[in-house]
Amino acid sequence: MADQIPLYPVRGAAAVASRKRAAYYSAAGPGAERPGRFQLEDESAHLDEMPLMMSEEGFENDESDYHTLPRARILQRKRGLEWFVCGGWKFLCTSCCDWLINICQRKRELKARTVWLGYPEKCEEKHPRNSIKNQKYNVFTFIPGVLYEQFKFFLNLYFLIVSCSQFVPALKIGYLYTYWAPLGFVLAVTIVREAVDEFRRFQRDKEVNSQLYSKLTVRGKVQVKSSDIQVGDLIIVEKNQRIPSDMVFLRTSEKAGSCFIRTDQLDGETDWKLKVAVSCTQRLPALGEDSDPPVHESLSIENTLWASTIVASGTVIGVVIYTGKETRSVMNTSNPKNKVGLLDLELNQLTKALFLALVALSLVMVTLQGFVGPWYRNLFRFLLLFSYIIPISLRVNLDMGKAAYGWMIMRDENIPGTVVRTSTIPEELGRLVYLLTDKTGTLTQNEMIFKRLHLGTVSYGTDTMDEIQSHVMNSYSQMYSQASGNNANSTPPRKAQSSAPKVRKSVSSRVHEAVKAIALCHNVTPVYEARAGVTGETEYAEVDQDFSDENRTYQASSPDEVALVQWTESVGLTLVNRDLTSMQLRTPGGQILTYCILQMFPFTSESKRMGVIVRDEATAEITFYMKGADVAMSTIVQYNDWLEEECGNMAREGLRTLVVAKRALTEEQYQDFESRYSQAKLSVHDRMLKVAAVVESLEREMELLCLTGVEDQLQADVRPTLEMLRNAGIKIWMLTGDKLETATCIAKSSHLVSRTQDIHTFRPVTSRGEAHLELNAFRRKHDCALVISGDSLEVCLRYYEHELAELACQCPAVVCCRCSPTQKARIVKLLQQRTGKRTCAIGDGGNDVSMIQAADCGIGIEGKEGKQASLAADFSITQFKHIGRLLMVHGRSSYKRSAALGQFVMHRGLIISTMQAVFSSVFYFASVPLYQGFLMVGYATIYTMFPVFSLVLDQDVKPEMAMLYPELYKDLTKGRSLSFKTFLVWVLISIYQDVAFITTVTFLWKVSAITVVSCLPLYVLKYLKRKLSPPSYSKLTS
């Protein structure tokens, strides 16, 4: 147990391998001439001279002007003092703060580490604690942090200064409570709300960190908390228990030497993933025994267990290699930010304008006073007297309104289960321009259904599956009738058959071979649930004798494969058992066919195919089966004239296609392949390239068996919801970790990309030159959707970030596949920086948390995939279709109401300030208050509370109309309900009403004049405006 086993970080190995793969595939294969074509790395000067956004003629004739580049135009915009005044100071301050934060929070580089099994105290390096922390503050930073978040806004900072000025006797105007009571109430509400949220986060973290695990030590098993686990600990994880940290999988109770894990909390996928124990430790009779001689075994991604996943079968033992902040799941998430709504920022700008008006009015008063006496003191007193122009009650009323909006959203019966987790940004739902969505579990249910089987001359759909079943039954019945007739000598006929000339096979035999290939070429494992009273030791020992269909479920890393195996079961050929070395099929007649698994070639994103070599135990025939994407298989299979056309037809129907092929091998051919394959796997340098080359030697002239079509079930009402969002002017981007073909199929089937729209698939690029040429090719396309992979996106963002953002934002839809969680968050930030528009991210898995937290508005879907995304989101919904009503109805109402409410509260303060100005002018510009303090506090709260409540309940368009005509949403994104224009209209109304009130003589005339003079012209103007310039929704409500 005390053996010193050096373990190298999986991340580093994976990065090196991916670079080697990229180099290999860019230098070999179909693009063998690619290095020569794209060899522009050494010609950087030539690239600088050749602009990316050149005209068509310039590109063709290679005539260009470098200054036509958008990047060059940006650099020439502003220089010197003009740049500093127009926002350069803010950029410099932000850069300095970011630099200081990076210095204070500098991340350590992950290096190769030596792990002592069972002896964590021998580790020389210090590693982070294995504790989960989602809190924003600690005990010392809570009060300063909350106060900073409040007083960074001009409105609150202004009132803090005004309130503090009342401690100076010469500046004191009224009672202290007049200023400190509203400010203290606002701060108290904010601090209590943040404290409650922080305490809830603390309780959730404590619950996870306090989970107990069994740890193996020299004294036996001991219980240890999750937060006390260290690098080098040997941890036992039971079935249905969360894996506490990143570990290497050493041993399992399963006799097959493998186990399944559930990753639904990590990536939103409900399929179980197969993990394999390290063979040398799995073979040990007891874990505490030393191996003699020492064994050296290379580790792969299959030998790792990631933190926050769940063990689904058996009991596992692993050694901890990464803890806390260094685990894979934590490194793929970003720190949450405090989100501020666009309406709050706009109101903050208006308060700055009001402050300038306040200073100007005070200067006018002091000037008319003649600057007599201590004029600067009078100036400050006037500033305090007119301070009600900026009302402190604005924050209180807005917070009350936002709480009411959140209550209405959660009480809406049309979107049950919706939860508002961030009550400060409901108005953001009405200002969105970009919606970035995940695919698996968000747009789709991640449930596959087999829809089509094509054999070249005949095609079978869902309504003709009974024909396939009869063909399979006939084939096996004929096979066993021949076998019973030739019992005594079965080997000679088989040899004669293999040497016979090729003849055209019957449809029945072709269907049988296709179904058998689909039933064998996969990585699916049947799992049998434990019976009551059966212990864990015998549960799996009896599996191969218990083939009851009711007790069996299929598990695999891909839902496509589960759908294929379930389909073969429905037509009569059932997978009943599988381990690492063999699998068993049951025929329609009940016979068991056993196949020995000689080699497995798993699916990779580079090869786009997977294969298996099996030996039939009954006939000793060796067959190489392979299935994969049509782009990868078209060059491998024998010549045919139907594959490309049928693949296109199925893709247009939104089906995910797989090409299935086989090749019969002799014993000599397989032995030769095995020796070369074993040598390639033992290579120290370029192992993956050599292994791929050996496998490719088998992938020649394979017999094409069939083409399958599988449909990924979409969530309910996804298509009409996406159509509604598009009509509302919202641009939709799909960011997924799935492969390119899958993402394209879902984009078509969900109508994210319309049937008439072209799709530009961005070719894989690895260098600046390739990215340059590919972007120029994409620029020529007009009104087409973009499909780009994560690796190509990374290269383009490194060299041509501005150009890519400019081109992508012009597309009606964008699909990014093979995206990591950090890439998703980076795309969100890129859109925010380059467009300045409001973004919304929606997802359901733990890999969507970074994207949700980075967006201006994050929406999480809570379902069978787990709650990690919904807990991190600002709004939590149960189905994707609910987003339509959430934006069209509640987003519209929240924004319209808050805009009117904010301007009304300012209007209310302007009335008092105008009356104070008239009063001071009449009485020789004396800096004396017109009303007492308690009257002012009552006026700002109780006396005018009913108009505030009426605005919170205001409704300009009925919810049915907003849903029926989503085009109304486009006006909201322009921000016309709250702007300097509407604000000036409210200011003029305030001044007009004040003058009409102050100049009246008697009480009777006050009442009549206020009623007639103040209200009648406004209603006349409002009536004329409606007649001359009716609003966009007036035709809908008539």
For the annotated catalytic residues, the residue numbers are 438
Longest dimension (CA), the chain: 128
Task: Report d(CA 221, CA 99) in Å as an integer.
Answer: 47
CB 768 within 8 A of CB 48: no
Distances (CA, A) of 198 to 146, 194, 304, 400, 660: 11, 6, 34, 21, 54
Pairwise CA distance, residues 271 & 994, whole Å:
69
Side-chain half-sphere CA neighbours of 802 within 13 A:
10
Mutual angle of helices 393-410 and 177-209, in 10-degree steps: 40
Please, which residues have CB within 8 angstroms of residue 94's CB and are 6 or more apart in sequence? none
| Residue indicated by tokens 């300045």 | 836
Buried b (16+ CB within 10 A) or exposed e, 321-359: bbbbbbbbbbbbbbeeeebbbbbbebbeebbeebbebbe
Q: In this structure, what token pair is assigned to residue 13? A: 């190995």
| Alpha-carbon radius of gyration of the chain | 35
CA 953 to CA 949: how far, in whole Å? 7
Packing angle between helix 154-165 and helix 177-209, nearest 10 degrees? 130
The CA-atom distances, in angstroms, between 65 and each of 53, 54, 59, 73, 888 are 10, 8, 11, 12, 46
Q: Residue 850 in contact with residue 334, Cβ under 8 Å?
A: yes
Enumerate the H helices of 836-968 as residue ranges.
849-854, 868-872, 882-885, 892-922, 933-940, 945-952, 959-964
CB burial string 173-186: b at 16+ within 10 A, e below: bbeeebbbbbbeeb
How far, in Å, CA of 823 to CA of 843, rounded?
14
Strand 838-843 to strand 432-437: parallel, antiparallel, or no bridges (unpaired)?
Answer: parallel
Which tokens sit at 1018? 């406004």
- How far apart are alpha carbons 743 and 734 in whole angstroms? 8
Spell out the residues 6+ positions from residue 1007 whose beta carbon is closer than 8 angstroms to its own: none
Half-sphere exposure (CA, 13 Å, Cβ side) for 380?
15
Nearest to 7 by CA among 323, 331, 232: 232
Beta bridge partners of 582: 596
How deeply is 384 buried, as exposed, middle or buried, from its count of CB atoms within 10 A (0-12, 13-18, 19+)? buried
Residue type, 453: L
CB atoms within 10 A of CB 748: 21
Q: What is the DSSP string of 933-967?
A: HHHHHHHHTTTTHHHHHHHHT--SS-HHHHHH-GG
Tokens 């008539």 — which residue?
1038
Q: Are 719 and 750 in contact (CB under 8 A)?
A: yes
Reported residue count of the chain is 1038
C-beta atoms surrounding 506 within 10 Å: 12
Give CA–CA dist 315/984, Å, rounded.
Answer: 70
Pairing outcome for strands 316-322 and 310-311? unpaired
Which amino acid type is present at position 123?
C
Encoding tokens for residue 271? Answer: 């399929």
